[in-house]
Every structure is written in C-alpha cells, then in structure tokens.
Amino acid sequence: MAAPLGNVPDDLTPASPDKSPDASTPTSLNTPDPLDTVAPLDTVAPLNKPALLNAPASPDAPPRARAGRRWTGALHSPLGITAAVLLLAVVVLAIVAPLIWQDRADAVNSTAILQGPSSAHLVGTDLLGRDIFARVLVATRLSVGLALLATAIGVTAGLLLGTAPVLLASSTGHWIGRWVSRWISAFINIAVAFPSLLLALFFAVIFGVGARGAVLAIGFATAPGFARLTQTMAAGISSRDFIAAARVAGIGRLRILVRHVLPNIAEPLVVSATMALGSALLSFASLSFLGLGVQAPSYDWGRLLGEGLAQIYVHPAGALAAGVAVVLAAMAFNLSGEAVARAIGVRTPHTSKQTRNKRTRTNERTRTTPGLDRLPAEHPDTEDTNQPLLAVDNLRVAFPTAAGEVTPVRGVSLTMRPGEAIGIVGESGSGKSLTALAIAQLIERPGHAQADRLEFLGTDLRDDARSRGGEQLRAGGGLSASERRRMLGTSLAMVFQDPMTSLNPTHRVGRQLAEVVREHQRADRRTAWRRAVDRLAAVRIPDAERRAKQLPHEFSGGMRQRAMIGMGVMANPKLIIADEPTTALDVTVQRQVLQLLANIRAAEDVGLLFISHDVTVVGQVCDRVLVMYAGRVVEDLPTGALLHDARHPYTRALVAAVPDMTTDRDAPLAVIPGRPPDPHDLPAGCPYATRCPLATEQCRREDPPLAWYGGGRRVACWHADLAPAAVPDNRATAVPDNRTTELDHGSTAVPDDEPAASLGGER
Ligand SMILES: Nc1ncnc2c1ncn2[C@@H]1O[C@H](COP(=O)(O)OP(=O)(O)OP(=O)(O)O)[C@@H](O)[C@H]1O
C-alpha cells in the first residue's frame, strides 16, 4: 500500500473562509521555526482576479450566479440599454418589415414622383413614386442578412487562418505543417496591409457583380484582420504555462486549441466579430452603392443610398434615410459587441448536468474512492530497477540567430534513478529551464534540442528517433509518436514557477485536473471528476469538492501551486519536473509546497527534477545537485556535500552568497563578482574564468571537462583541489545539512487523525 500523503499536519492546510476554526490556527511545520507563527494562507491578500471581471462577486458565489450578475450589470448600463434597444429594433425590423411594408414599398405611383417628406410619405418618394421610408424598412432584412453572411464567412476563414499556425507550427509537427504555417502567416501579413474596402473591391471584381459575389468579397476581405487578431492572441496564450502543462499532459494540439486557447481569446474575438458585422454592413452598402452589390429589382440600403443620391439636391431626406439606417444598424452591432465584452469578462465554465446536481456545498472531507486511486498507468513497466528513470547525455539546445546559432545549453548529461531527486541550480540564464523543457519535449521551433541520448523510462525521446523507421524504432525500445505522447502525458508532470499562469483561468480547477485522465485513460466524466477531487484532497486542498468547482483566481497562490502538483499526479507520474515552483510564493507557502513534493516522492517513489536558483531550497528537497553555468553542468555532487564540500569555485561562491542565520551581519554580503557570459558571445576556455579567483592561463585557454572527482562527484574545474581554500564558505560548520531537519523526507509517521487521502491508494 502506498504511504499516505499525510505528513502535512492539518494546521498547515490553508483554511477555507467558511472553516473558521482553521482560519484562526497558525500554520506550522514539522520543526519549530519562527515562521510557523505566520497567519494562515487564506489571510494573504487575494490574488489578482482577471481584469475583466467587472461585477463584484462573492468568491463563494457559484460561477453561474456570478456570470448572471455580470450580464445583468452589463445590460443595465447605459451602453447595454442603448445596444439592446438598437439591436432589438434592427432584429425586429429585419423580421417583420417585409411582412408589413413590402407592398407599400413596391407600390409604384406615377402621381407622387420625387415628393418631399409629408404625412403620407415620411421621407418622401423616389423616381417611381414609391415610399422611401417603407423601402428603407423593408431593406433591413436583406442588408443585415447579407452582412451577417459575409461576417460569418470572414470570421470562419479568419479563425481557420489564425489558428492554423498554432496547430501546425508545433515543434513536434511535420516540416510540411511548419512550412504551410509560415506561408499562412506571410499571407496574413500581406493581406492586412491593404484596407479591407480595397480588398473587398478587389474580390468583388474577382467573384463578379451581384449579391453573392459581394458576400464572398466582403467575407474574404474581413478574414485577414480577424486572422491576424486570432493569431496574435493565440500565440500569446500558447506561451502560457498552462498550455505547456497541457502539452506535457499529452493533450492533443486540436484539443488544446479548442479547450484552452480559444476560450481564453473568445472575448476579444466576440467583440471583433460584432465590430466586423458593423463594418460588413458599411462595406455592403458601399459595394451596392457602387453598383457591385445587390442588383435590381432587389434592394438593400446601399442601393437605396445610390438612388437617393441622384435626388439629394431635390429632397435630401430621401437620400439620407438609408444612410441613417446603415449608421444605426452598425452602431447596434458595435455597441452590442462592447456590451457583450463587458458581460462575458471571463468565459464562464459551462455547467455540466453532473455538477448542477451537486451544487450543494459539502464540508465533508473527500474520501478516496476504491478503484479511483490507481487508474491504469500508460508508462511502460519500470520494474527493471537497473533502468534509469531518465538518462540524458550531451543535451544541447540551440536557437537560430541573425549571426548563426546560439546554444544556451551545451552538453548537459545526467542520470536519474527511479525515485531520486536531483536539483539544478545556477544563476539566471545558465540554462536550467531550457534543460528541463528539452527533457519534457517543450522546446518550441525555431529552437531545437539534440542529444546523444535522451531516454525516459527506457524510451528514446529524441526527434531523430521519431523519424526512424518503425522496425528500427521498436528495436531501440522506441514508441510511436502518439504512444510517446501518451507515455509522457501520464509519466511526466511539470510544475511551473508562476501558479497564476499555470492553470487555465477560464476553466474550473477540477475540470482541468479531470482532463488529464479523460484524455489518457478515457475515463468517463464522473470518474475523472471524482479522481480530480481526490487528488485535490491529496495535495491538501481543503474542502476539495467545493474547491474543484472554483476558477483558479479563487485559489490562493499556494493552493494554485498545490493544485498544479495535484494535476501532475493525476496520472501517477514517474517524474515530476518542478521549475522554480516556489519562487513566486511567500516563504511559508514555499515550505508547504516543498513539503508536499517531498511527501509525494516518498509516497509514490516519484523522481523529482527540481530547478531553482536558490541552493538552500534545493538542498532541502534533493539527493543530488547539478550546478549549471553558461549552459553546462560544472559540478554534480551529493546534497550533503553542497554546503561545505563543493569543489567548483562557482558552486562555493553560490553557497557563500546565500546569507543564513549564522552570517555575520556586520560583514558585507558575499557576492559573485562580474556577470555570467552572454550565450551569444562565450569566451574561450572556462566560461567562469573571468570571475574566478583561481583562474590561470590554462583556464582561459581550455574549457575543463566534467570529470569524476571522487566522493560521487563530477567537477569541471582545473583547480578543484584548491577551491575550498580559495573560496571559503561563510557558514558555521555547526549548521548541519538542513535537508533532513527542515523537511520531513518520506516519513510515514502520519498522525492518527490524518484522513486517508493518499496519492496512490491501494496498490
Ligand atoms: N526562445 C529562446 N530563444 C533564444 N534564447 C533563449 C530562448 N529561451 C531562452 N533563451 C536563452 O537561453 C539562456 C538560458 O535560458 P534559461 O531560461 O534556461 O535560463 P535559466 O537558467 O532557467 O534562467 P532563470 O533562472 O532566469 O529562469 C538565456 O540566456 C536565455 O536568454
């Protein structure tokens, strides 16, 4: 049986607002610490809500109620009222005007030709004595209908063009996909350079004179602008951590687009579509006015404008009536777009039948459900204890530049055993994140990763392995691309730095967790949801059933990060890559997250690749530490040796630069002189030489290899023996390796009253 994930005492658990007894309890960790007396998590200032949530809403209100309030608020504003009245008028007229006034509009009266406004004819008559006002009203249906059709074509084409690069340009995609995507982007760039009316005229000539040609012309003229907007916003969203998390979870590109990207850009797209409708009305009027649109005997506002213009000096009201109609209808659509944008704010999660039935709150702690705990894992059998969990040899990550290529990761090698925790430390820009991203197959084009060996659970992850023939691939223990995706999705979890961007802001937290098992284990909705709630409880989210129905902004930062970890363990991973998971958190919450990761490791025997710039944090959770500098590993050592027995001058300087409780406060803080080299302009020899007190001519000439040193260490330094004397650490030797004192590693000493929430459940 898996050890329960119960090492975090209940008083560490952030209290939910409605659990008042917990709310007054100070947080505490397993060892006494002054930090233990800080306020509970939920007393921390609320985190940013999405800026467009206009109506104030109680955090506990169900999402549906909040959405309802936003719509009500938007509709009761002057903007909403004006938009609603105008839109209603346009819609009603489009439906009823031809039914009521068609005969009057078509009735020729040779005795009333070109009359001015009168009680019989409100805006006068035309050349055939027909009532202009009735004709304007009747023309509403055709004008609006054709504009709607053209907009629908434009929006659909724009969406397809705008999202195609997102779908096709993935680093994992085929070169044809990337090539097509580049051409589409180039086409959009050229097309948006032309005014849309000019494009419409151009297409009108191509498609021919008449209503059908005009609809197509305006539709295609609308598409590039819409495509550009979609492409820009989709690209922005695609770089967010929750998209990377979804990709790590193995969710397909189309599904990511539909479920994660489009909902997050829906609001500006809706506004833009309604604006496009207004523009289409004007464009249609223009084409018909020029004789390229609707042809006689049909008529729309553009044609009426054209007919009226000839008599504008005789009676201007007749010419202006159609113009006023165009302006009012365009205003109706534009204002409606604005009002809808305000009302939507953030797209409300749609409420499933299941959750509608479960709307009642429960404070009961979620129990693990037999059969839910361990859904069938997709990863290959890992019982072979000799097989490393992760084997990386000579990993390089490069990006093309104007001057050639830059290689920020230059030959990283590491081997991780199942259940091992390896930390990667180094200053900003040393290549830590890129190393992790390359392992998780998340390097985006035009960047590319190469390695002599990149194996996870015995599977070759390298790009060139993919392109090998099937037989060869299988012979090398390879999987097909989709098998590999599924294997990565279930066996590898990624936790990112910023918990705010790691979760999709438009989906309920529980739904996002459930998606992982829905995708990989084809679990039904109910099972997936129950497992999501179970995982949230396992990562100590209080009142998990209720919290699962909330949106990410309703969580505190620490809860969001724990929810991300919960998402990572939805599919029983074998490796968690945590890229600075605690940097954005305050120190108390940071310790909770570290404790949680330590517990998961112990309970599940999960490998952990922990990236941080903070050597002390890495020392608390890891067995081994890799120190990176300028894209290379310069030292690889056991955590126990980190504080006092590191052999690379850079590692020692990093440790010395972290003040602790024993640091002499009167002495100046230790700093590492100089700056890391620019990856675009690496010096010859050892890249640390310019900052190193031990640097010699040999260092400036030859880059030292990462060689075994003894004591289970690898060091890349010509003077490793001299480093301890040359770079003394500033820590009192009485301070023990705090790895075992600050975090309870793998202790299964769970308090008796701990609930039975566990990550693994029965095995
Ligand atoms: N897409 C990219 N294109 C070009 N260069 C990049 C790209 N991404 C990262 N780099 C460069 O690669 C180097 C290493 O970046 P990386 O993000 O791995 O550093 P890091 O050690 O994780 O730093 P930090 O701790 O600040 O996150 C940096 O110099 C960075 O500018």
Q: What is the pLDDT of residue 535?
A: 84
Of 238, 241, 409, 430, best ligand 1 pocket probe by most atoms within 8 Å of the beta carbon: 430
Q: What is the mean pLDDT of residues 341-369?
A: 39
Q: Tell me the pLDDT tens digit for each residue of 436-495.
A: 999 988 888 788 899 999 998 888 887 655 444 443 334 344 566 677 777 787 788 888
Cβ(429) – ligand 1 distance below 6 Å: yes
Q: Is the pLDDT of residue 298 over 80?
A: yes
Q: Whose CA is nearest to atom 20 of ligand 1?
A: 429
Q: Whose CA is nearest to atom 17 of ligand 1?
A: 433
Domain endpoint, select from 284, 312, 344? 344
Which residues are CB-contacts of 100 (< 8 A; sequence separation ≥ 6)? none
Q: Is the pLDDT of residue 236 over 60?
A: yes
Atom of ligand 1 nearest to the CA of 497: 27
Q: Is the pLDDT of residue 169 over 70?
A: no
Q: Identify whether 264 is part of a domain.
A: yes
Cβ(130) – ligand 1 distance below 6 Å: no
Distance from residue 434's CA to the centre of ligand 1 (Å): 6
Q: Is the pLDDT of residue 111 over 80?
A: yes
Distance from residue 631's CA to the centre of ligand 1 (Å): 9
Average the pLDDT over each of 97-106, 266-275, 410-419, 653-662 and give the range with the smallest value: 653-662
Q: Whose CA is nearest to atom 31 of ligand 1?
A: 429
Pair 338, 399 in one domain: no
Q: What is the pLDDT of residue 721?
A: 83
Q: Is the pLDDT of residue 378 over 90?
A: no
Q: What is the mean pLDDT of residues 231-236?
A: 80
φ, ψ for residue 512 (rounded to 5)? Answer: -65, -40
Q: In the structure, what pLDDT confidence band is assigned to residue 188 with cuts at 50, 70 and 90?
A: confident
* Full 3-state SS string of 256-292: HHHHHHHHHHHHHHHHHHHHHHHHHHHHHHHHHHCCC
The number of residues making up the chain comes to: 763
Q: Tell me the pLDDT tens digit for each residue of 309-347.
A: 877 777 788 778 888 999 999 889 888 887 877 776 533
8 Å CB contact between 425 and 615: yes
Q: What is the mean pLDDT of residues 677-691?
A: 89
Q: Whose CA is nearest to atom 29 of ligand 1?
A: 429
Atom of ligand 1 nearest to the CA of 437: 18
Task: Give the strand pairing for 459-460 and 453-456.
Answer: antiparallel
Provide the whole-model pTM: 0.60
Distance from residue 682's CA to the centre of ligand 1 (Å): 15
Q: What is the mean pLDDT of the chain?
A: 74
Give the pair of three-digit tokens for residue 144. 């609006």
Which residues are CB-contacts of 432 (< 8 A; sequence separation ≥ 6)? 424, 425, 426, 579, 611, 613, 628
- Alpha-carbon Rg of the chain, whole angstroms? 33
Number of domains in the chain: 2
Cβ(613) – ligand 1 distance below 6 Å: yes
8 Å CB contact between 504 and 245: no
Atom of ligand 1 nearest to the CA of 431: 18
Give the pair of three-digit tokens for residue 695. 């640097």
Angle subtended at Cα 534 by Cα 533 and Cα 540, rounded to the nearest 5 degrees: 90
Pair 218, 109 in one domain: yes
Element (H, E) at 403: none
SS3 377: coil
Give the DSSP letter string of 482-499: HHHHHHHHHHEEEE-S-H
Give the pair of three-digit tokens for residue 468. 């090998």
Q: Identify whether 606 is part of a domain.
A: yes
Beta strand segments in 261-403, E: 390-401
Q: Tell me the pLDDT tens digit for each residue of 19-52.
A: 333 333 333 333 333 223 222 323 222 323 333 2
Q: Whose CA is nearest to atom 4 of ligand 1?
A: 399
Pair 172, 316 in one domain: yes
Q: Identify whether 290 is part of a domain.
A: yes
Cβ(433) – ligand 1 distance below 6 Å: yes
Q: What is the mean pLDDT of residues 90-119?
A: 87
Q: Is the pLDDT of residue 59 over 90?
A: no
Q: What is the pLDDT of residue 669?
A: 64
Distance from residue 442's CA to the centre of ligand 1 (Å): 13
Cβ(679) – ligand 1 distance below 6 Å: yes
Cβ(224) – ligand 1 distance below 6 Å: no
- The better pLDDT of the pair 281, 241 is held by 281
Q: Is the pLDDT of residue 1 over 60?
A: no
Task: Give the strand pairing for 575-579 and 390-401.
Answer: unpaired
Q: Whose CA is nearest to atom 16 of ligand 1?
A: 431
- CATH classification of the domain holding 275: 1.10.3720.10
| Maximal CA-CA distance, the chain | 113
Q: Identify whether 160 is part of a domain.
A: yes
Q: What is the pLDDT of residue 668?
A: 61
Cβ(489) – ligand 1 distance below 6 Å: no
- The better pLDDT of the pair 150, 724 is held by 150
Pair 476, 576 in one domain: yes
Pair 278, 163 in one domain: yes
Q: Tell me the pLDDT tens digit for each residue of 266-294.
A: 877 887 888 888 888 888 888 888 888 88
Distance from residue 430's CA to the centre of ligand 1 (Å): 7
Cβ(448) – ligand 1 distance below 6 Å: no
Q: What is the mean pLDDT of residues 401-420?
A: 90
- The better pLDDT of the pair 518, 481 is held by 518
Q: Whose CA is nearest to atom 1 of ligand 1?
A: 447
Q: Is the pLDDT of residue 410 over 70?
A: yes
Which residues are CB-contacts of 744 (< 8 A; sequence separation ≥ 6)? 7, 30, 595, 598, 599
CB atoms within 10 A of CB 102: 15
Distance from residue 674's CA to the centre of ligand 1 (Å): 19
Q: What ipTM does this complex have?
A: 0.96
Distance from residue 629's CA to the centre of ligand 1 (Å): 12
Distance from residue 678's CA to the centre of ligand 1 (Å): 11
Q: What is the mean pLDDT of residues 415-427?
A: 92
Distance from residue 409's CA to the centre of ligand 1 (Å): 9
Q: In the structure, what pLDDT confidence band is assigned to residue 144 with cuts at 50, 70 and 90?
A: very high
Sign of the Cα pseudo-torsion (473, 479, 485, 488, in order): negative
Greatest mean pLDDT range, 68-82, 194-208, 366-380, 642-656: 642-656
Give the pair of three-digit tokens for residue 332. 């109706």
Pair 289, 412 in one domain: no
Pair 735, 637 in one domain: yes
Task: Give the strand pairing for 390-401 and 453-456.
Answer: antiparallel
Amino acid at 618: V
Distance from residue 432's CA to the centre of ligand 1 (Å): 8
Task: Tell me the sheet residues that pair with 189.
Answer: none
Q: What is the pLDDT of residue 174?
A: 59
Cβ(388) – ligand 1 distance below 6 Å: no
The runs of H, that is alpha helices, within 370-462 are: 432-439
Q: Is the pLDDT of residue 618 over 70?
A: yes
* Full 3-state SS string of 120-168: CCCCCECCCCCEHHHHHHHHHHHHHHHHHHHHHHHHHHHHHHHHHHHHH
8 Å CB contact between 458 and 380: yes
CB atoms within 10 A of CB 223: 26
Q: Identify whether 38 is part of a domain.
A: no
Q: Whose CA is nearest to atom 3 of ligand 1?
A: 399
CB atoms within 10 A of CB 744: 18
Distance from residue 433's CA to the centre of ligand 1 (Å): 7
Pair 409, 478 in one domain: yes
Q: In the structure, what pLDDT confidence band is assigned to residue 408 with cuts at 50, 70 and 90?
A: very high
Pair 679, 735 in one domain: yes
8 Å CB contact between 28 and 9: yes
Cβ(501) – ligand 1 distance below 6 Å: no
Of 432, 435, 580, 613, best ligand 1 pocket probe by most atoms within 8 Å of the beta carbon: 432
Q: In the structure, what pLDDT confidence band is assigned to residue 637 with cuts at 50, 70 and 90?
A: very high
CB atoms within 10 A of CB 489: 24
Cβ(431) – ligand 1 distance below 6 Å: yes
Q: What is the pLDDT of residue 630?
A: 93
Greatest mean pLDDT range, 43-57, 201-215, 305-319: 201-215
Average the pLDDT over each of 218-227, 247-256, 519-528, 656-665 and give the range with the smallest value: 656-665
Give the pair of three-digit tokens for residue 22. 């917990």
Pair 301, 448 in one domain: no
Q: In the structure, what pLDDT confidence band is assigned to residue 572 with cuts at 50, 70 and 90?
A: confident
261: left (phi over 0), alpha (psi -120 to 50) or beta: alpha
Distance from residue 174's CA to the centre of ligand 1 (Å): 25
8 Å CB contact between 181 and 164: yes
Cβ(497) – ligand 1 distance below 6 Å: no
Q: Whose CA is nearest to atom 5 of ligand 1?
A: 399
Q: What is the mean pLDDT of residues 661-673?
A: 65
Of 433, 629, 634, best ligand 1 pocket probe by most atoms within 8 Å of the beta carbon: 433
Cβ(676) – ligand 1 distance below 6 Å: no
Q: Tell me the pLDDT tens digit for each residue of 465-477.
A: 544 444 333 434 4
Separation of alpha carbons 49 and 553, rounded Å: 5
Domain endpoint, select from 316, 344, 372? 344
Separation of alpha carbons 589 and 42, rounded Å: 11
- CATH classification of the domain holding 495: 3.40.50.300
Q: Is the pLDDT of residue 150 over 70?
A: yes
CB atoms within 10 A of CB 254: 10
Atom of ligand 1 nearest to the CA of 435: 18
Pair 279, 409 in one domain: no
Q: Is the pLDDT of residue 362 over 50?
A: no
Distance from residue 546's CA to the centre of ligand 1 (Å): 39
Distance from residue 627's CA to the centre of ligand 1 (Å): 16
Which residues are CB-contacts of 93 (< 8 A; sequence separation ≥ 6)? 137, 140, 141
Cβ(447) – ligand 1 distance below 6 Å: yes
Domain that holds residue 249: 78-344
Percentage with pLDDT > 90 across the chain: 20
Burial class (CB in 10 A: 0-12, 13-18, 19+), 178: middle
φ, ψ for residue 411 (rounded to 5)? Answer: 85, 50
Q: Identify whether 33 is part of a domain.
A: no
Cβ(568) – ligand 1 distance below 6 Å: no
Q: Identify whether 364 is part of a domain.
A: no
Q: What is the pLDDT of residue 127?
A: 80
Q: Whose CA is nearest to atom 9 of ligand 1?
A: 434
Sole residue written with tokens 């000579």: 394
Pair 283, 408 in one domain: no
Q: Identify whether 90 is part of a domain.
A: yes
Distance from residue 396's CA to the centre of ligand 1 (Å): 13
